[in-house]
DNA sequence: CTGACTGCAAACGTTTTGCACGGTA
DNA sequence: TACCGTGCAAAACGTTTGCAGTCAG
């Protein structure tokens, strides 16, 4: 993935801090502010939390980052790729992407509610194989 | 619904404030803190926000209230009844309950992930018939 | 070279806490 | 009556803002 190109394609300057944010999210999938902050601290000891917040917000505004709100957990941030759902282990709190076919679910919801659906946020809570 | 009995069955004293909180949630479905606060202000002009927070938290701990986190909206609170999903209108922000059959979705998720699922949180975003 | 970005400090809004008083069981 | 719950004020927390200096394009 060309991080510089990604940023520039959204009219954002490819600063070292932003490259690192995008890189961390690309490699690790979902990160909360604190984790992101400590990751970045390693490379830029003088980075400030507000830089991270500002960048996350602009990336969300630009439309290539999304915020994931999880009941009783801190918000996570992830680069937007294809639509997908999330599973969370109740024990170890690990968050994983899962690609579910939700077309029949949406169909059913459309029949019942008469809404026109644009987006869905599906989070499944369970116990992962390692935590059984 | 006997609000006093509900509270007592969870070892909580049936104070007027709590009865009103439960009543408001029972009638209105989902409420955020601010709405709850202004509702209660009518009946108890001297009620404090912290009373509401404390009560909501204890009710969540006791297990008969749940917190609904919606992307870019304030958290909503609802009494726990049968498992259900939520649809939110992108335009008017109205939140409605919907009962979807998610057994095949869970089945699929179980096959893919090997998780044992206990809970699901499904939020569908769309446009409601009135907002077309 | 210039506008966009960073880092600091301060401000802000929301939620939690400590404590004295009051009310439920 | 004993303890739990309330309301107030203050503290804590997460996030945003303003600003001066810096850097990418």
- What confidence tens digit (pLDDT) does each residue in A106-127 have? 999 999 999 999 999 999 999 9
Chain A residues whose beta carbon lies within 8 Å of the beta carbon of residue B126: 113, 115-119
First to last CA, chain B: 36
For the cut 90, the answer to whether the pLDDT of residue A73 exceeds it is no
- What confidence tens digit (pLDDT) does each residue in B20-40 have? 999 999 999 999 999 999 999
Same topology, domains A3-79 and A85-131? Answer is no
pLDDT of residue B98: 98
> Tell me, in Å, how far CA of B44 is from C1' of D6?
11
Q: What is the DSSP string of A79-129?
A: E--S--EEEEETTT--EEEE----HHHHHHHHHHH--EEEEEEEEEEEE-G
pLDDT of residue A9: 97
Per-chain mean pLDDT for chain A: 96
Average pLDDT over residues A25-50: 97
pTM, entire model: 0.93
Which residues make beta-bridge pairs with B43? Answer: none
Q: Which residue has the closest alpha carbon to C7 C1'?
A: A48
CB contact under 8 A, A119 and B132: no
pLDDT of residue B66: 96
Chain A residues whose beta carbon lies within 8 Å of the beta carbon of residue B105: 100, 102, 105, 122
**Rounded Cα distance, A18 and A54, in Å:** 10
Please tell me the CATH code under which domain B3-79 is placed: 1.10.10.10
- Percent of chain B scoring above 90 in pLDDT: 95
- The band of A132, judged by pLDDT with boundaries at 50, 70 and 90, is confident
For the cut 90, the answer to whether the pLDDT of residue A129 exceeds it is yes
A interface with B, Cβ–Cβ < 8 A, is 67, 69-72, 85, 87, 89-90, 96, 98-102, 104-106, 108-109, 112-129, 132
State the nucleotide closest to B17 in CA–C1' terms.
D6
- What confidence tens digit (pLDDT) does each residue in B85-117 have? 999 999 999 999 999 999 999 999 999 999 999
For the cut 90, the answer to whether the pLDDT of residue A66 exceeds it is yes
Return the CATH number of A85-131, one of 3.40.109.10, 3.30.1490.190, 3.30.70.20, 3.40.367.20: 3.30.1490.190
Query: Of the candidates B44, B101, B92, B33, which has an alpha carbon nearest to the alpha carbon of residue B68?
Result: B33
Domain boundaries along the sequence of chain A? 3-79, 85-131
pLDDT of residue B132: 87
What pairing do the DSSP bridges indicate for beta strands B116-127 and B85-89? parallel
Q: Which residue has the closest alpha carbon to C23 C1'?
A: B15
């Amino acid at each position: 993935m060309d991080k510089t190109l990604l940023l520039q394609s959204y009219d954002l300057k490819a600063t070292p801090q932003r490259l690192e944010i995008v890189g961390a999210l690309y490699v690790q999938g979902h990160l909360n502010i604190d984790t992101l902050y400590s990751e970045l601290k390693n490379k830029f000891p003088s980075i400030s939390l507000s830089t991270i917040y500002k960048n996350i917000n602009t990336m969300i505004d630009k439309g290539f980052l999304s915020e994931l709100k999880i009941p009783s957990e801190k918000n996570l941030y992830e680069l937007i790729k294809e639509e997908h759902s999330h599973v969370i282990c109740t024990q170890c709190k690990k968050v994983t992407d899962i690609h579910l076919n939700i077309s029949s679910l949406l169909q059913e919801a459309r029949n019942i509610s008469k809404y026109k659906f644009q987006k869905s946020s599906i989070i499944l809570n369970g116990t992962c194989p390692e935590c059984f």
